[in-house]
């Protein structure tokens, strides 16, 4: 497997400077890095660190984060797709991560589902020909994101299929899916819709091996079925980041 470090958390205790976290990830033998917001970072210094180390930038957030479930937010979101695409091109990021937003009280889920599909079709037109993919991310609402609309991987896959454009894919987060009680088999037959995977253990969202999650079996399932993308390490290290990376020896 190939791994990407989410440098919002990994190496953060050791390196206050974000660009130096890129260098630390390279020294630790990781294949890529990723982070959340680009708007609060010095993109020039990050670009320089990426060039120096040869690491890829696996992904960034699509900003601003607004509810795709609410049509009133759609124009703001689409403007953000254009701005985020410019940042992705500067940093050579191939994935922008989109969140569906919160459930809208009093609005039928079918209506909110349709709103997400509609705006993602518009986003796909903006991204066409760019080589950048927008990845929709289901999250858990039981621990980390109360009120979030898209908690089901199956519904996320359905949305991707309804949009029907190669620019729109799914980010599958093993941690969030496990918190929601989902098994990895939810991806059976549709793994090709997944462009990126995130990993943390549960409970606690620490490094693999810190909790009870059968992470090795889930990674092996992905590999056996042809997943060739990166595994984004989006966890809270319980100690020095390099020490928390030892789990890789168990799964390759």
Q: What is the CATH number of the domain that holds 138?
A: 3.20.20.150
DSSP the chain: -EEEEETTTTTTTT-SSHHHHHHHHHHTT-SEEE-S-STTS-HHHHHHHHHHH--EEEEEE-SS---TTSGGGHHHHHHHHHHHHHHHHHHT--EEEEE--B--TTS-HHHHHHHHHHHHHHHHHHHTTSS-EEEEE---TTTT-TTBS---HHHHHHHHHHH--TTEEEEEEHHHHHHTT--GGGGTT-GGGEEEEEE--TTTS-STTSSS--HHHHHHHHHHTT--SEEEE----SS-HHHHGGGHHHH-
Q: What is the C-alpha separation between 16 and 220, in angstroms, rounded? A: 34
Which pLDDT belongs to residue 135? 99
Q: Show the tokens assigned to 7.
A: 């440098």
**C-alpha closest to that of 6 among 64, 47, 58:** 58
Which pLDDT belongs to residue 252? 59
Query: What is the tally of structural domains in the chain?
Result: 1
From residue 81, give the alpha-carbon distance in Å to each of 87, 130, 139, 193: 10, 12, 20, 20
Burial class (CB in 10 A: 0-12, 13-18, 19+), 240: exposed
From residue 204, give the alpha-carbon distance in Å to each of 1, 75, 172, 212: 23, 36, 18, 10
Mind listing the pLDDT tens digit of every residue in the chain (252 residues)?
A: 999 999 999 999 999 999 999 999 999 999 999 999 999 999 999 999 999 999 999 999 999 999 999 999 999 999 999 999 999 999 999 999 999 999 999 999 999 999 999 999 999 999 999 999 999 999 999 999 999 999 999 999 999 999 999 999 999 999 999 999 999 999 999 999 999 999 999 999 999 999 999 999 999 999 999 999 999 999 999 999 999 999 998 775
| Orientation of helix 74-91 relative to helix 43-53, angle to 10° | 40
8 Å CB contact between 124 and 144 = no
Q: Please state the pTM of the whole predicted model.
A: 0.97
Length reported for the chain:
252
Q: What is the C-alpha separation between 129 and 54, in angstroms, rounded? A: 24
Residue ranges making up the domain that contains 102 = 2-251
**Matching residue, tokens 């010095």:** 42
Which pLDDT belongs to residue 187? 98
Q: What is the C-alpha separation between 217 and 213, in angstroms, rounded? A: 9
């Amino acid at each position: 497997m190939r791994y990407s470090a989410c440098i919002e958390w990994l190496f953060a205790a050791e390196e206050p400077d974000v660009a130096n976290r890129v260098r630390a990830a390279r020294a630790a033998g990781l294949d890529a890095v990723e982070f959340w917001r680009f708007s609060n970072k010095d993109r020039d210094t990050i670009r320089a660190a990426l060039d120096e180390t040869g690491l890829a930038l696996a992904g960034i957030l699509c900003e601003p984060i607004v509810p795709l479930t609410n049509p009133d937010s759609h124009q703001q979101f689409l403007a953000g797709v254009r701005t985020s695409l410019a940042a992705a091109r500067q940093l050579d990021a191939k994935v922008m991560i989109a969140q569906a937003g919160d459930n809208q009280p009093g609005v039928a889920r079918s209506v909110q589902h349709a709103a997400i599909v509609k705006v993602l079709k518009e986003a796909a037109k903006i991204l066409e020909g760019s080589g950048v993919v927008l990845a929709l991310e289901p999250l858990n609402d039981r621990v980390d994101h109360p009120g979030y609309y898209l908690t089901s991987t199956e519904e996320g896959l359905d949305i991707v299929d309804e949009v029907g454009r190669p620019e729109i894919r799914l980010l599958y987060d093993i941690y969030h899916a496990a918190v929601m009680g989902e098994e990895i088999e939810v991806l059976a037959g549709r793994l090709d819709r997944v462009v990126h995977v995130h990993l943390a253990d549960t409970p606690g969202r620490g490094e693999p091996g810190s909790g009870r999650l059968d992470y090795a079996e889930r990674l092996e399932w992905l590999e056996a079925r042809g997943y060739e993308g990166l595994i984004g390490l989006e966890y809270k290290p319980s100690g020095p980041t390099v020490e928390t990376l030892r789990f890789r020896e168990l799964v390759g």
